[in-house]
Amino acid sequence: MEAFQILKDKLTHAPILALPEGVEDFVVYCDASHTGSGCVLMQRNKVIAYASRQLKKHEKNYATHDLELGAIVFALKLWRHYLYGVHFTVYTDHKSLKYIFGQKELNMRQRRWMETLNGYDCEILYQEGKTNVVADALSRNEAEKPRRVGRM
């Protein structure tokens, strides 16, 4: 009986997406793994949007900091209509990204991504991976492999 009540509560109080209210207080949570990228756009502790994508074959060879930076760029491009021209915060679980703006030697991909980031008014902050659970789960969400149907 207790399990039924828990299930009923979860189904009737499911989290829903909210519409943005104004252009302030946006927060983006990003994470990347060697299978994909995941991000969450929030405003005042309400989820506005979720996004995830699988890595392309060549992206699976990227270093971890490039995957994390790529996840941020993915989120910014996807939610440009919310984020461009307003101040917002990006949380990532990769500490080195806080210091990427001070790097002198960047490869061409990193330079291109930094150029994209420079067009936004954002602050990149570190957040431990274990507290960034939604973006982490989205980054590891693998699509099912297509099944093959043989002859009958």
CATH number at residue 69: 3.30.420.10
pTM for the predicted model, two decimal places: 0.75
Q: pLDDT tens digits for 68-77?
A: 899 999 999 9
Domain-located, residue 121:
yes
For the chain, give the mean pLDDT. Answer: 81
| Domain count along the chain | 1
Query: 34 lies in which domain range?
Result: 17-140
Q: pLDDT tens digits for 27-61?
A: 999 988 888 998 999 999 888 998 989 999 999 99
Q: pLDDT tens digits for 98-137?
A: 667 777 888 899 889 989 989 999 998 887 666 555 555 6
Domain-located, residue 136:
yes
> Quick check: 145 pLDDT over 70?
no
Instruction: Output the CA–CA distances (angstroms, integers) from residue 23 to 28, 134, 150, in the order listed.
Output: 14, 23, 53
- Copy the structure tokens of residue 90: 């990006």
| Residue 114 CB coordination number (10 Å) | 15
